[in-house]
Homo-oligomer: A and B are copies of this chain.
Amino acid sequence: MQAEPIDGAAAIGQSGGPTAVINQSLVGVIEGLRGFKNITKIYGMRHGVAGLTRGELVDLTDISQEKLDLVARTPSAALGSTRDKPDEDYCARIVEACREHDIRYYFYIGGNDSSDACRIVNEIAANSGYELRCFHVPKTVDNDLMENDHTPGYPSAARFVATAFMADGRDNASLPGIKINVVMGRHAGFLTAASVLARRDENDGPHLIYLPEVPFEMDRFVEDVDRVFSKVGRCQIAVSEGIQDESGEAIGAKLISAADRDAHGNVQLSGSGALGDQLASLLKAKLTPAGGKPPRVRADTFGYLQRCWPDASPIDAQEARGSGRHAAHLAARGDRDGSVAIKRIEGPDGEYHCEFKRVELSAVAAKTRLMPREFIGGHNDVTQAFVAYARPLVGELPEFGRL
């Protein structure tokens, strides 16, 4: 049931880990709102809900298209982001701040924690009799939102990971050894899986891919590496920062001393090289032949560059913009709330298309989507179904020559 439009301001916030295209979504919402005459003002929240509750708003109503286009191409959250996870009390202050600034349209760009906060704000506003329309715009490099074929931010991060594995694979072939690359993704292995797109020839890496969805066994890992290294003379390995043991405990968390926890209770896995370094030490110790030299083992942790590298996938840039616009259109057509989701449509010749649809906030809020079973290939690989899924998203990858 559509509601009558209500006059008032709109506020847009960005939350959680930034991406290469989160500003595309911001600009998409602004563009979408411009044709909507009930909007009296467009505010940006400085550092999401943290800034909103302190009244830190920036007026985006009259910003030029030229400036918008430049901001859209800029990685990371131009408004600033936040890791705050609002509880009921915090959400009440959010609603209060909206009331104070006559904000009637609330847009929040973020992941599953953000959509949950959006859902709570929506409820509190409704219960307190303040009419506030709440919309969530998807964003996460982890690609772990329910209802979405994939999420804005993921294709660009996947593009970085695939490119990095291609380049690092040539480096590894040039100076052969065992190379571990640790990839972001706390619970979902989609980003680590994207490393597979680096494979071109039979002997190309990644030779082994370890996802958080498959319990990680140390002995089996050593055996896997030993087998590949003996056969190929080198071994390039993709490891998710979120790999877990049989009991569900993150291997990285065990290894990171003085582990940070953020406001969501999540252990800090990014911004540390501990997991890669520990796995490298282990391999060196286990694979040194009796009386012989240890193999050359190196570990890189790709870190924050994965989520902000300024070479977005063109499809991702377009879809992030589109999902922001779609959220504004939902508001304009009289929806009271909702989250935008991306649905994939195959064209008549199997080519890739997508469309946006509205889903309930509660369908996305605080839930985590993992790699589906058909994408997982045994305990150390992904399937061709995953390759077919991921390839159209990342855009054109560089072509390499060999001798």
Contacts and interface: CB of A to CB of B under 8 A. Distances in A.
B403 A44 contact: yes
A278 to B, nearest CB: 10
A80 B304 contact: no
Interface string A231-271: 00000000000000000000000000110100000001011
B273 A171 contact: no
B166 A310 contact: yes
3 A-B pairs with the lowest CB-CB distances in the bound complex, closest first: A273-B273, A271-B298, A70-B401
B300 A305 contact: yes
A257 B273 CA distance: 14
Contact of A171 (B14, B23, B304, B399): B304
Contacts of A367: none
A164 B298 contact: no
A49 interface: no
Contacts of A402: 71, 74, 78
A185 interface: no
B308 A305 contact: no
Interface in A36-76: 44, 58, 60, 63, 67, 69-76
Contacts of A277: 272-274, 277
Interface of A is mostly: loop
Given A171-B308, A175-B17, A300-B304, A74 B401 contact: yes
| Interface size bracket, A side | 35 or more
Copies of this protein, total: 2
B308 A168 contact: yes
22 contacts: A17-B175, A23-B401, A58-B403, A74-B402, A75-B170, A75-B400, A78-B170, A78-B401, A78-B402, A79-B403, A81-B175, A164-B305, A168-B308, A258-B281, A271-B280, A272-B280, A272-B299, A273-B274, A273-B276, A273-B299, A273-B301, A300-B301
A155 interface: no
A311 B67 CA distance: 26
B168 A305 contact: yes
A253 to B, nearest CB: 14
A179 B270 CA distance: 12
A297 to B, nearest CB: 8
A78 B173 CA distance: 9
Nearest to A175: B81
Nearest to A73: B401
A294 B260 CA distance: 9
A276 to B, nearest CB: 6
A77 B75 CA distance: 31
A309 to B, nearest CB: 6
